[in-house]
A and B are shown apart, each in its own frame.
Chain A
Amino acid sequence: MVSDVSYEAASAHYGWRDWLSQRVTAVVMLLYTLLVFAIVIWNGGLDYSVWKSVFANHAFRLATFLFMIALAFHAWVGVRNILMDYIKPAGWRLSLQTIVICVLIGYMGWTIEVLWGAL
């Protein structure tokens, strides 16, 4: 089966995995969004003391961290797809993709600082 061999050679097999991860991370973020919406409605708005107590809750901090991990993977797949579509020179594309990865890792570091840094 020559066609099978050439398919194997041409495919990196990350397509279906990214397709799935994009959807799993989307559902995680959807649930977190509903959670935050419910918290805001439940408290009838947010003043400082409520806001502070929401973030003092360990479960909420973990949920926020989970959301940010999902967001980082989701954003990586999405932005990488945009770059693959519009940036044709390989050098530019690779450079921009590297910058995106660095930015996302930076966002995660910032997230950890916000959630567990000064509190």
Chain B
Amino acid sequence: MAALDRPVVKPRPIYLNVLAIRQPLPAIVSILHRVSGALLFLLGIPLVLWGVHMSIASPDAFAQFKQIVGHPFSKLLMLALAWAYIHHLLAGVRHLALDLHVGVDLAPARRSSAIVLVLSLLLTVIVAVRLW
């Protein structure tokens, strides 16, 4: 019983430096789910509302809108938001699958998180090609 009272000391790193910890793929997908969600709330919603509002107002406003979104900076911003939307959506679908007990085991869960990461980047590249 005495053994339980004594803490077992092993030479383990006790710091929790986020940058020093090598995160598993599902953890990366998870934190990006959060980051992309925050990005969509802060920038995505107001910018899309502004864009739709302006673009359906009149033919002139539509032309002006096209000019604004044609600017390289706008395109970069739209690309970032497109990635955020795509990643958030795919990570969400993965989440729904996990809720239905699909792919819960370690190996499939790792594989699906890799698919989410890669597929969202691929689709973002397609968006980039369409934008430029």
Chain A interface residues (CB < 8 Å from chain B): 23, 26-27, 30, 33, 48, 51-52, 55, 71, 75, 78-79, 82, 107, 110-111, 113-114, 118-119
What is the count of residue pairs linking A and B with beta-carbon distances less than 8 angstroms?
48
User: Which residues in chain B, 17-67, are within 8 Å of chain A measured between CB atoms?
Assistant: 34, 37-38, 40-41, 45-46, 49, 52-53, 55-57, 59, 62-63
- Minimum C-beta distance from B37 to chain A (A): 5
> Quick check: A119 and B89 within 8 Å, CB to CB?
no
> Given contacts A23-B96, A23-B99, A82-B34, is CB(A75)–CB(B56) below 8 Å?
no
Q: Looking at chain A's contact residues, is the secondary structure mostly helix, strand, loop, or mixed? A: helix
> Given contacts A75-B41, A110-B49, A110-B53, is CB(A48)–CB(B96) below 8 Å?
no
- Decide yes or no whether B93 CB sits under 8 A from chain A: yes
6 closest A-B pairs by beta carbon, nearest first, are A48-B62, A114-B53, A75-B41, A78-B37, A55-B56, A110-B49
- List B contacts of A111 (CB < 8 A): 49
Q: A48-B55, A48-B59, A75-B41 are in contact. List 12 more A-B contacts (CB 8 A).
A: A23-B99, A26-B96, A27-B96, A33-B89, A51-B55, A75-B45, A79-B38, A79-B41, A82-B38, A110-B49, A110-B53, A118-B57
- List A contacts of B56 (CB < 8 A): 51-52, 55, 114, 119
> Given contacts A51-B56, A79-B38, A119-B56, is CB(A107)–CB(B89) below 8 Å?
no
> Quick check: B93 and A30 within 8 Å, CB to CB?
yes
**How many B residues face the partner with a CB closer than 8 A?**
22
Q: How far is the CA of A107 from the CA of B92 in the complex (A)?
A: 23
- The chain A residue sitting closest to B38, CB to CB, is A82
The one of B45, B57, B96 in contact with A71, judged by C-beta atoms closer than 8 angstroms, is: B45
6 contacts between A and B (CB under 8 A): A55-B52, A78-B41, A113-B53, A114-B53, A118-B57, A119-B56
> Quick check: B46 and A107 within 8 Å, CB to CB?
yes
- Minimum C-beta distance from A53 to chain B (A): 10
